[in-house]
Amino acid sequence: MTNPVLRLASYNIQKCVGLDLRRQPRRILQVLEQVRAQIVVLQEADKRMPPRPAALPHFVLNEAGWQAANLGGAGSLGWHGNAIIWKGRGVELIDHGHLVLPGLEPRGAVWACFGTPIGTLRVVGAHLGLTGGARREQVQRLAQRTQDWLDMPMIWAGDFNDWARQPSFCALAPNMTFLPPKPSFPAIRPLAPLDRIALSAGLKSMRSGVHMAQPAHIASDHLPIWADLQAN
């Protein structure tokens, strides 16, 4: 019997504004359908100004069969722009919440626990700061806040905003293994591995990649990344 596989993706959707400067939420969903992930961590899922309404509207997600963790308020899809959505049989939300991150910029992380075909797991989504010092502080805070979450395997995913193939912040999270980096930014000609996925013990990646098929090259300034996961 083949062991089940779960596909998880991370995508900075730039408030659904593409490189053609058009805001097209359904184009983002077209990309997500091509990626075929069951769980997706989103960044920049809300508009910038208060009350930060969803850039990817709830009704558009619902029409396409996606569900979203209730992480926002006043019509937001997420928290600090971070959202977690899922679709497909066998994926069930168990719990969810926020993690406050340090830094001068308003940053935060979100988490959700799921029952899935590969077992229960916790997904943490984050969009880190623009400076190296802020990113190190934020990864250190994530590591500290999650080090006691031993009840289930854990995934970190998001826009880590670092151009280096082996950023210094990796050493600050010894319980997490970052998957090999793949260029995902800028979408039109990807050079930098800004988007990352990291796994705790209990999970392994069978394969991972960057989705480059049209219209991903223009739907956002980032390309989505994905990983096929199994229990280890």
Q: Does the structure show a pLDDT above 70 at 1?
A: no
Q: Does the structure show a pLDDT above 90 at 166?
A: no
Q: Does the structure show a pLDDT above 90 at 50?
A: no
Which pLDDT score, from 0 to 100, does residue 11 have?
A: 98
pTM above 0.95, yes or no: yes
Q: How high does pLDDT run on average in the chain?
A: 95
For residue 186, whether the previous peptide bond is cis, meaning omega lies within 30 degrees of 0, is yes
Phi, psi of 30 (to 5 degrees): -60, -40
Q: Does the structure show a pLDDT above 70 at 52?
A: yes
Closest CA to 181 of 209, 213, 212, 221: 209
Q: What is the mean pLDDT of residues 45-64?
A: 91
Q: What is the mean pLDDT of residues 144-152?
A: 93
Phi, psi of 26 (to 5 degrees): -70, -25
First to last CA, the chain: 16
Provide the pLDDT confidence category of residue 30 given band limits of 50, 70 and 90: very high
Instruction: Give the whole-number percent of the chain exceeding pLDDT 70.
Output: 100
**pLDDT for 68-110, tens place per residue?**
999 987 789 999 999 999 998 899 999 999 999 998 888 899 9
